[in-house]
Amino acid sequence: MVMPEKLQPGPLAGRISLFAPVSLFFFFFLVFIITTLRRTDLHRMNYFFLAAAFFAFHLLMAYLVDHISIHQSFAVSAIVSLALVVSYMRLVAGARFAWLECGLAQLVYLILFSYAFFFKGFTGLAITLGSIATLFVVMQMTGRINWSERFARTPAPR
C-alpha cells in the first residue's frame, strides 16, 4: 500500500527549471515559423528579451516556492512571465501578434508544458504528445511554402 505524500515543491520546481530550455526551444520554433510566414522581422535582441522574460517564470517560481504554495508560486510566475512577453511583443510587433501568437504560444509551451510536471508519471507522455501536435501544426502551416524562395537572399542596396 502506498501512502499519499505531500507534494515537495523544491524538487518539482527543480525539474520544471531543468526542462526550461526544451520548452523555450518549442516556443522559439513556433514564433520563428509564424514570423517567417507573416514576414514579421524579429531581431536577435528581440529573441534575447523573449528568452529573459521566459526564464523569469523559472527564476521567480524557484524563489517563491520557499514562501508560498507551489500552486500559488506557479500562478504568480506564469502571470508575470506572460505579462512580460505580451507587453514587450506588443511594442515590437503589435497587440494582435503579442496576444495571439506569442501569448498563446507561451501559454502552451511554458505554462502547460511546465504544468505537466505536476502529473507524476505522465510528464514525458504529455510533452511527447505536445511535440507531435506541434510538428503536425507546423507541417500543415508550412506545407506549401517554397523555402528556397522565402529565404532567398536579396542584394543589399548600394
Average pLDDT value for residue range 126-141: 91
Distance between CA atoms of residues 151 and 145, nearest Å: 10
113 CB-near residues (< 8 Å, 6+ apart): 19, 22, 23, 26, 127, 130
Buried/exposed code over 22-49 (b: 16+ C-beta within 10 A; e: otherwise): ebbebbbebbebbbbeeeeebeeebeee
Q: What are 35-77's pLDDT values in tens digits?
A: 988 888 889 999 999 999 989 999 999 889 888 888 899 999 9
Nearest Cα neighbor of 58 from 94, 96, 13 is 13
Average pLDDT on 86-107 reads: 92
List the single range of 15-19, 39-43, 84-88, 144-148 with lowest mean pLDDT. Answer: 15-19
